[in-house]
Structures are given as C-alpha cells and as structure tokens.
Amino acid sequence: MAHKFDVRKAELLDSPDRLQILNPDTILDKLGLNRETMFADLGCGTGYFSLPAALRVSKVYALDVQEKMLEILQNKIKKEKIKNIDIILSRESSIPLPDNSIDILFMANVFHELQDKKSILSEAKRILSSGGKLTIIDWKKMEMDFGPPLGERLTEDEVVSACKNNGFEILEKAEAGPYNYILIFKVRKNSQVDKDRINIDCIYIN
Ligand SMILES: C[S@@+](CC[C@H](N)C(=O)[O-])C[C@H]1O[C@@H](n2cnc3c(N)ncnc32)[C@H](O)[C@@H]1O
C-alpha cells in the first residue's frame, strides 16, 4: 500500500530548494486561472500550491486527510491574513465538496498516495463543473535520491489510462521540472450528453 507523506517531515514541503525543482508560480501560470476560478487543492499538505493559488483565484479549497498538515496551513493563513482559502479535512475515498462546484481540481504529488484512485476520480468528476479541469502532478518513475520509492510511483501513461477509464480526456502532458510531470485533463460530464439529447428531442418535436 502506498504510504502517506510523513507530517513530521512537513518542512521539506516548504524547503526553498523545492522552488528550483517544482516552482508553484510556473505551474500555476499554465492553468489559465482568473479571479472567478474555484480551485480545489486535494492533498494540499502545508499549502505549497494553495497559498500562491489564492493570490490568483476566487476561492481555494485546501483539502487533506492529515489534520496535522491542515493545522500548519491554518497557522500560515492566520499569520498572512488570507481570506479566500477554506481548509477542509478530506476523506480517503471521497471529497467533501458539492457537485459541479469546482473549476480546477489540483493534485500535486498526491495521486500515487491515493489508496482508492477509482473512487477519487469518480469524486473528481462529480465535483468538477462542466468544462472543469483536473491537474495531476506527480513524480517521474525513475531512480532518485529523494521522493517516494520507485515501486510506489506511476508512469504518466498509467495515470493517463486510469483517468481516461474514469471519465477524463487528456489535454496536455508536460514536464513540471526535472523530476515531475504534469497532466491536465478535461472532465467528460454526462450532463453534457443529457443536454445534447434534450436539444435533439426539441428539434425532433418541432
Ligand atoms: C507529498 S504530500 C504533497 C503536498 C502538497 N500537494 C505539495 O505538493 O506540497 C501528499 C499529501 O497528500 C495527502 N493525501 C494523501 N491521500 C489523500 C487523499 N485520499 N485525500 C486527500 N489528501 C490525501 C497527504 O496527507 C499529504 O499531505
């Protein structure tokens, strides 16, 4: 079973060296964020991405299954007087957010830690609005002196295939620095199919 990032090593998530290998602003630049965007950072940890995202969007929902991570983020938010981040204790196989409420669901170095990837992808599909996007950043599957063990890592193709099988279409594959990849997906919503069907019915009746 994939292990969870140890909260006792939480300071590594905010290490200045990390800015050189996984720069949050460079990554957020790719996502087309604006002042209306509803952004969910699943597996937010100490807020390495939530904090800079909050400067660009309407609202950030920062979710994690480890309460201790959220406490660290809560202290930063208080200190910096940030008003548009909501901190939410998440669950292993579900995401406590309403249907169709999110424009961008973001997961950085989290997907390989999920115990129940299928359920989280189904939840991702539920909470994303029509036209919403799922962004997954994760470790490249290669030997390194840091990061999760090789056996717990997933290749880009494995992640793409899991997402395709669960209602997502790949829009972009790129490098997110020397050690990580970034994958951006569009959600395929059933409601879109239903809307098309209603339109077709209307044309038919007329
Ligand atoms: C390696 S840390 C990355 C933190 C942050 N995204 C970053 O890049 O700094 C992975 C985080 O994902 C969280 N996590 C793992 N499984 C999760 C799940 N099912 N739902 C929400 N968070 C999860 C862990 O608790 C941990 O804080």
Q: Which sequence spans correspond to the domains of the chain?
A: 7-205
Residue 137 corresponds to which tokens in the numbers above? 């950043």
Q: Express each pLDDT in 183-204 by its tens digit.
A: 999 999 875 444 443 333 333 3
81 conformational bin, left if phi > 0, alpha if psi -120 to 50, beta if neither: left
CB–CB of 2/147 below 8 Å? no
Pocket test for ligand 1, best of 6, 42, 113 (most atoms within 8 A of CB): 113
- Ligand 1 contact, 135 CB (< 6 A): no
Determine which residue's CA is closest to atom 4 belonging to ligand 1.
45
Strand-strand pairing, 102-108 and 59-64? unpaired
pLDDT of 47 over the 80 cut: yes
pLDDT at 2: 75
pTM above 0.95, yes or no: no
Ligand 1 atom at minimum distance from 69 CA: 27
Determine which residue's CA is closest to atom 12 belonging to ligand 1.
43
Q: How confident is the model at residue 205 (pLDDT cuts 50, 70, 90)?
A: very low
Q: How far is the CA of 21 from the centre of ligand 1 (A)?
A: 18
Question: Which residue, chain included where needed, has tokens 């490249």?
Answer: 140
CB–CB of 70/62 below 8 Å? yes
Q: How confident is the model at residue 44 (pLDDT cuts 50, 70, 90)?
A: very high
Query: Which has the closest alpha carbon to 111: 93, 88, 149, 138?
Result: 138
CB–CB of 68/94 below 8 Å? no
Give the angle subtended at the CA of 122 by the CAs of 117 and 123, to the nearest 5°: 95
Residue 18 corresponds to which tokens in the numbers above? 């990390």
CATH 3.40.50.970 assigned to 7-205: no
131 conformational bin, left if phi > 0, alpha if psi -120 to 50, beta if neither: left
Q: At what angle do helices 117-127 and 156-164 cross, to 10 degrees?
A: 60
Q: Express each pLDDT in 117-176 by its tens digit.
A: 999 999 999 999 999 999 999 999 999 999 999 999 999 999 999 999 999 999 999 999
Q: How confident is the model at residue 1 (pLDDT cuts 50, 70, 90)?
A: low
Q: Express each pLDDT in 69-125 by its tens digit.
A: 999 999 999 999 999 999 999 999 999 999 999 999 999 999 999 999 999 999 999
Q: How far is the CA of 5 from the centre of ligand 1 (A)?
A: 7
pLDDT of 28 over the 80 cut: yes
Residue 54 corresponds to which tokens in the numbers above? 């909050």
At 27, is the secondary structure helix, strand, or coil? Answer: helix
